[in-house]
Structure 1
Amino acid sequence: MLILVASHSMVYGQVNLPKVFSDSMVLQRGVDIPVWGTSNPGNQVTVELEGNRVKTVAGQDGKWILHMPSMQAGGPYAMRVYEGSQPQLVNEFKNVLIGDVWLASGQSNMEWQVEQAMNAEKEIKNAHYPDIRYFNVPHDKNIHAQSDVLGGSWEVIDSASVKTASAVAYFFARQLHIELDVPIGILQATWGGTPVEAWTSREQLLSSSITHDRILRNDLITANHFVKDSLNLVRFWEIVYNSQNKTDKIIPKRGFDDSKWAELTMPVTLKDMDMPSYQGLVWMRKAVSIPSSMGGKELSIDLGHPEMNYTLYFNGKEIAKNVWNAEPIHHYSIPAKLVKKGKNVIAVRIAFLWGGGGFNPPAEEMYITDGNSRVSLAGSWKYQKDLEPAIPMINNYHRYPTYLYNAMINPIVPYGIKGFIWYQGEDNVAAAHDYRALFPMLISDWRIRWRQGYLPFLYVQLANYMESKSEPSESDWAVLREAQTMTLAQPNTGMASIIDIGEADNIHPKNKQEVGRRLALLAEKLVYDKSVQAYGPLFQSYEIEGNKIKIKFSETGSGLAVRGSGQLKGFAVAGKDQRFYWADAVINGNSVVISSGKVKNPVAVRYAWADNPNSNLINKEGLPAVPFRTDSWDTAGKE
């Protein structure tokens, strides 16, 4: 019997499809549907879907591909796969829908989950959309292009599955599903902290002088490097999350002697401290005087905005531990039994990683309170580094050119899709000028691979982020946003500006609902020919009129407007000396007239040109004006 079973497996078990084909999948409507896989060379493969049967034969390399006839939206159906000249059923995929499939990719802001978004509890509770499905490609990296992903299967959106889905992609899919009344599938391939080069193929990157040499240098890397890096990564997080050398038993105590430690004023971040490139664990201590009115009471402590990975102690006892994936609340209760009248000691073990560390301003958000009185935690703190083992070096191969393309994109080509949505760029800010070439390269690369023509490519422009500047200044983030705007010159592309919904102290702004909505507006207009206003005002042209400059906009919708009350903000003007000053700005029809008493002969205007601009020009549909400049002077953003 065992011999018979084994024989049957050899004859009828040789047809394999990639994991992207599973129960509950969504297949693309309106196109000949690609289905592919492997089998024994010369073996006949037949696929059946809703009365249509298509046959093919596996090549000498064992690979096969066929295309099912185009279908309209609908389902559920079953897709059956047979093998042999006398077809034998080898696989059946159930609950299959025909609709529109979008590939959602990028770094952490596309990866950010629904459970991490604004109003997460409500969104999860109301997520009952059986005609929205998603497939999450697992994190993987590889030197060579792969034919399949590590794992995964299509999930039907409900209150359980939606929690870990991409928030931006889900809100995008939800609006399209409601507006179009067709099934929507999301292929999610995301990884936080990754540059655009990681998602681009080797062949494409070799064609650019920006990346050519890096690609060739990487040819020395072998699979063994990945193994070693993985071992170091385990040790890395073990040290980050767990105190070493019993420091947690000694340093947090009230009587610990920190008199020889260095001193600094908090809040302050790593870049403003004396260790600009340090990576490791830092211990920080502060003695605070608790008044008698607060002694012996349960208190609340608010640390403001520290880095994500830290442990908080009060008078020697651990109060809280915050790790990378935790919800960053940063305020905790201190049990009454720990609170002493007079001197108390706060200790924080904090990980300084990837150029970050310390406490971000403002100072007024660092305090201890009993609900009536406050004791500030700003001011003098003691700190000491290198009290624990050094963190192992991690090569972060997921950031290397082409490795994510190889393992996470190539395996899902040529799955039938409607288009792409993309949210990435933060990791390329340090060399923002290069993004002008690298981003269009990725778009072209993916379109070539899918062979579906100029597939729609919709993307998110970087949000406002970091501290606002009181005066006009250079900005790498502004240069990256400019590169994104320039990419609109590529055919069939659309850009969602979110310059108005970012957060100064959070690179992952929580309002993913609006990001998804704005991407959906672009899809409705560009892809589905809906009569909607999808853009905020876009710079069109300018004229110098004496001591004023008149800026003309397109995409004004029902008219230009100011968000909130007050005057227009965010415009800066300069003369030939290239020194920018804040400008007075007045709406005049579809134009804005710019002037400044400090610039008698203006030649250039910039708008929202900053990391976190204070800008408020919109159209009456509520969409923000896209940042721009009229000059071509040298800027930041060159590595």
Structure 2
Amino acid sequence: MRSRVQILLPFILLFLLPVSSHAQITLPKVFGDSMVLQRSIKIPVWGNSRPGAVVVAKLGNVQATAKADQQGKWQLTFPVFKEGGPYVLEIVESGKPGSKIKLKGILIGDVWLASGQSNMEWQVQQAKDAEKEMANANYPKIRFLVVEHSKLVKPQTDILAGKWKVCDAVNVKDFSAVAYYFARKIHHDQKVPVGIIQSTWGGTPIEAWTSREMLLTSPITKAKTLSADTLTVDREDFVQDSLNGIRFWDIVYNPQNNADKIVSATEYNDADWTTIDMPKVLKDFGIGYYEGMVWLRKKITLPASFHQKDITISLGHPEMNYSLYFNGQEICKNVWYGNPTHSYTIPASLVQRGENTIAVRIAMLWGGGGLNQPAEDIYITDGASTISLAGKWLYNKDVETALPKMLNYQYYPAVLFNTMINPVIPYGIKGFIWYQGEANAGAAYDYRKLFPMLIADWRKRWQQGNLPFLYVQLANYMKTKPLPSESEWAELREAQTLTLSQPNTGMACTIDIGEGNDIHPKNKQEVGRRLALIANKMVYKQECIASGPSFKSFRENGSRIRISFANTGSGLSTKEGKEVTGFAIAGKDKQFYWAKAIIEGNEVVVYSDKVTEPVAVRYAWADNPECNLVNSEGLPAIPFRTDEWR
């Protein structure tokens, strides 16, 4: 989701040239100044040098050596260190003192690999209270390495780019918000330095993060994985795709055909444009899945009281790449998350008596596009009076050059494992944090197999035993439906819950902090906190309540069903003390109805006058359920169902 071009042609051509043997000692980019190394384990360090060379490394006052093999590869290990620092790491080839690497500012602490799709990638500057959080992010013992996006297809030994950065008010803006808030709490609670290796890419399926070898073990993924074997960096379509990528983003960021001057003008003739209601995502109007530049226009008559005043316009929450024009003049150009409030001042000199013209140029990417906030969040005001901008707008998607098609290799099986995970193995880590699943919701039953496969795959390759694997369950999202219904997102959440059967895994439930109209909910502070609670209990062995109520068992009791829960703390309750919501009940006909629910100790009694002989209960089984059951710590009950109906 970043604004940079993912693969540049000169870089591709570089890979097509013969690679010379290593003339001097080098380290992969996962190692660098200000890095954090893992405490309490033997610390691996590896790199390249002249074939057969003896490599001598010194971390603080501790020395380790290794001999390079015939390809010049070497790996050494330092003994166990306790948390602390800063240290200096020096590496030389024996007998060749001129070939020396010196890394400074190294801390010993806990390192976590943070991975997944966009909700893990979502940056601090995009999340809730961004300005306040960034201003107060002075944590010199928290360090991040953000792995650059790369889709080089075949297994790589080094990341494309990335550099360890100390957490401060400047650097923190680019960090994963979930990972930062997780790291902040771990650092505070455990009093140790924390390093995060962030390897994320929005919109990507779990198959892309899993190794080819593991994918070939399952009939779910074998055929598709084998079909991707022909992908090579020198293939004509790969090179062309990279050129298309450059052109793609050039169009997104730069209006084509002089459209910004022509289409934004008050006198522009938009009589043949299509009428559309705003706010809404454009795909909801029958456009379907479309990528391209869309223009919106609206004429609005302002009262005389607005004349000769600076006025304010709010666009709510538009798609991230857009430009706003008022009476032909550009008011803003937002690139990704440059303007978090989406509220702008229109100078008095542009405000005309009577009719005024608003134009918005929006990049419609990945099925988005539009002003997707509640109607009350799009308006224009002079401070005293407010005029809604909701309602009829005009739109046109054919004004500018079409975006070139991109092959999106990052979605292909094993590609991101090869190029964004493999290069950081076997860097010493404490465990993994993971937030992904949205891209796999359409095949949720497969995720029951795919997710445990990824966990086993990564653990095997790191060779540090059953490393802790902590993950986020999908938040509530999309429209709330009036009646109980089936839900792919509920099925995906169920697959995530079932994965808790794998050893040393923990799940943070976020069913209460999502946003119906935004797949990227802003409250990442609470997501990070809940992951850290699980780490505190499961990994650091603290006594605490780390997760919400979880389904334990049920029994039929006449016309009622009694549900028993674990992880209730000192008792079950509801948010704000209201009646229990979120339960549905069904008989043998499999027809679900909303149910009444009463809390009795660690149990909930569920019933409905419409179901006299109930056999099944579901809780929070929806894309965006209305549910409020919590434990004494205020943590939400995990969605579940007692049936196995497909």
The farther-off stretch of 467-476 and 444-453 is 467-476
Deviation readout 1:141-174 (Å, 9 max, x if unpaired): 2221111112333222233332322222222122
Aligned amino acid, residue 199 of structure 1: W
- Report what 1:73 is aligned to: 83
CA–CA distance in structure 1, aligned partners of residues 324 and 382 of structure 2: 18
Q: Is the 8 A contact 2:331 2:344 kept in 1?
A: yes
C-alpha displacement of 1:605? 1.3
Residues 1:366 and 1:122: Cα distance change in structure 2 (over 3 Å) = closer
Deviation readout 1:275-315 (Å, 9 max, x if unpaired): 21332222222232323343444332233333333222222
- Report what 2:171 is aligned to: 161
Aligned pairs for 1:588-603 (under 5 A) are 588-603=600-615
505, 509, 512: which one aligns with 1:497: 509
Q: Does 1:300 align with 2:312?
A: yes
SS in structure 2 opposite 1:605?
A: strand
Q: Does 1:125 align with 2:135?
A: yes
Residues 1:11 and 1:378: Cα distance change in structure 2 (over 3 Å) = closer
CA–CA distance in structure 2, aligned partners of residues 160 and 372 of structure 1: 37
Q: Is the 8 A contact 1:472 1:572 kept in 2?
A: yes
Residues 1:82 and 1:351: Cα distance change in structure 2 (over 3 Å) = closer
Residues 1:90 and 1:291: Cα distance change in structure 2 (over 3 Å) = closer
- Report what 2:114 is aligned to: 104
Aligned amino acid, residue 133 of structure 1: R
C-alpha displacement of 1:89? 7.0
Residues 1:301 and 1:547: Cα distance change in structure 2 (over 3 Å) = same
CA–CA distance in structure 2, aligned partners of residues 122 and 359 of structure 1: 26
- Report what 1:348 is aligned to: 360
C-alpha displacement of 1:470? 2.4
Q: Is the 8 A contact 2:127 2:524 kept in 1?
A: yes
The farther-off stretch of 532-541 and 30-39 is 30-39
CA–CA distance in structure 1, aligned partners of residues 361 and 98 of structure 2: 62
- Report what 2:144 is aligned to: 134
TM-score (norm: length of structure 2): 0.92
366, 383, 403: which one aligns with 2:415: 403
Q: Is the 8 A contact 1:467 1:612 kept in 2?
A: yes
Deviation readout 1:395-431 (Å, 9 max, x if unpaired): 1122222111111111111111111111111222222
The farther-off stretch of 25-34 and 120-129 is 120-129
31, 44, 48: which one aligns with 1:38: 48
The farther-off stretch of 397-406 and 54-63 is 54-63
Q: Does 1:429 align with 2:446?
A: no
Q: Does 1:575 align with 2:582?
A: no
155, 165, 187: which one aligns with 1:177: 187
Q: Does 1:367 align with 2:379?
A: yes
CA–CA distance in structure 1, aligned partners of residues 360 and 121 of structure 2: 29
Q: Is the 8 A contact 1:12 1:83 kept in 2?
A: no
- Report what 1:27 is aligned to: 37
Deviation readout 1:474-531 (Å, 9 max, x if unpaired): 2222111111111111110000111112222222222222111111111111111110
TM-score (norm: length of structure 1): 0.93
Aligned amino acid, residue 134 of structure 2: I
SS in structure 2 opposite 1:168?
A: helix
Q: Is the 8 A contact 1:363 1:378 kept in 2?
A: yes
C-alpha displacement of 1:209? 1.8
Aligned amino acid, residue 314 of structure 1: F
SS in structure 2 opposite 1:189?
A: strand
C-alpha displacement of 1:125? 2.8
Residues 1:470 and 1:322: Cα distance change in structure 2 (over 3 Å) = farther
Residues 1:426 and 1:11: Cα distance change in structure 2 (over 3 Å) = closer
Aligned amino acid, residue 609 of structure 2: G
266, 280, 286: which one aligns with 2:292: 280
CA–CA distance in structure 2, aligned partners of residues 237 and 412 of structure 1: 29
Residues 1:242 and 1:425: Cα distance change in structure 2 (over 3 Å) = same
SS in structure 2 opposite 1:435?
A: helix
C-alpha displacement of 1:15? 2.4
- Report what 2:7 is aligned to: none
333, 339, 349: which one aligns with 1:321: 333
CA–CA distance in structure 2, aligned partners of residues 612 and 546 of structure 1: 30
C-alpha displacement of 1:452? 0.7
Q: Does 1:454 align with 2:439?
A: no
CA–CA distance in structure 1, aligned partners of residues 511 and 546 of structure 2: 15
- Report what 1:556 is aligned to: 568
Residues 1:548 and 1:298: Cα distance change in structure 2 (over 3 Å) = same
SS in structure 1 opposite 2:531?
A: helix
Q: Does 1:439 align with 2:451?
A: yes
Q: Does 1:230 align with 2:239?
A: no
Q: Is the 8 A contact 2:22 2:48 kept in 1?
A: no
C-alpha displacement of 1:50? 4.0
The farther-off stretch of 178-187 and 483-492 is 178-187
Q: Name segments (4+ residues, structure 1) moved above 4 Å.
A: 10-13, 85-89
Aligned pairs for 1:237-276 (under 5 A) are 237-276=249-288
Q: Is the 8 A contact 1:308 1:328 kept in 2?
A: no
SS in structure 2 opposite 1:223?
A: coil
CA–CA distance in structure 1, aligned partners of residues 418 and 357 of structure 2: 51
> Where in structure 2 are there 5+ consecutive unaligned residues?
1-19
Aligned length: 625
74, 88, 112: which one aligns with 1:64: 74
CA–CA distance in structure 2, aligned partners of residues 495 and 87 of structure 1: 49
The farther-off stretch of 361-370 and 100-109 is 361-370
- Report what 1:195 is aligned to: 205
C-alpha displacement of 1:97? 2.2
CA–CA distance in structure 2, aligned partners of residues 487 and 573 of structure 1: 25
- Report what 1:5 is aligned to: none
SS in structure 2 opposite 1:367?
A: strand
Q: Is the 8 A contact 2:376 2:388 kept in 1?
A: yes
- Report what 1:379 is aligned to: 391
The farther-off stretch of 343-352 and 525-534 is 343-352
185, 196, 205: which one aligns with 1:186: 196
Q: Does 1:215 align with 2:225?
A: yes
Residues 1:327 and 1:585: Cα distance change in structure 2 (over 3 Å) = farther
SS in structure 2 opposite 1:306?
A: coil
Residues 1:11 and 1:405: Cα distance change in structure 2 (over 3 Å) = closer
- Report what 1:625 is aligned to: 637
CA–CA distance in structure 1, aligned partners of residues 643 and 128 of structure 2: 38
CA–CA distance in structure 2, aligned partners of residues 105 and 414 of structure 1: 16
CA–CA distance in structure 1, aligned partners of residues 54 and 267 of structure 2: 78
Aligned amino acid, residue 172 of structure 2: V
CA–CA distance in structure 2, aligned partners of residues 586 and 218 of structure 1: 53
Q: Is the 8 A contact 1:305 1:505 kept in 2?
A: no
Aligned amino acid, residue 93 of structure 1: L
CA–CA distance in structure 1, aligned partners of residues 33 and 395 of structure 2: 55
Residues 1:278 and 1:96: Cα distance change in structure 2 (over 3 Å) = closer
C-alpha displacement of 1:578? 2.1
CA–CA distance in structure 2, aligned partners of residues 350 and 581 of structure 1: 41
Residues 1:15 and 1:252: Cα distance change in structure 2 (over 3 Å) = closer
- Report what 2:544 is aligned to: 532
Residues 1:342 and 1:530: Cα distance change in structure 2 (over 3 Å) = same
C-alpha displacement of 1:11? 13
CA–CA distance in structure 2, aligned partners of residues 50 and 374 of structure 1: 64
Aligned amino acid, residue 75 of structure 1: G
CA–CA distance in structure 2, aligned partners of residues 12 and 443 of structure 1: 34
Q: Is the 8 A contact 1:12 1:90 kept in 2?
A: no
CA–CA distance in structure 2, aligned partners of residues 367 and 53 of structure 1: 65
400, 415, 425: which one aligns with 2:427: 415
C-alpha displacement of 1:232? 1.0
Residues 1:359 and 1:129: Cα distance change in structure 2 (over 3 Å) = closer
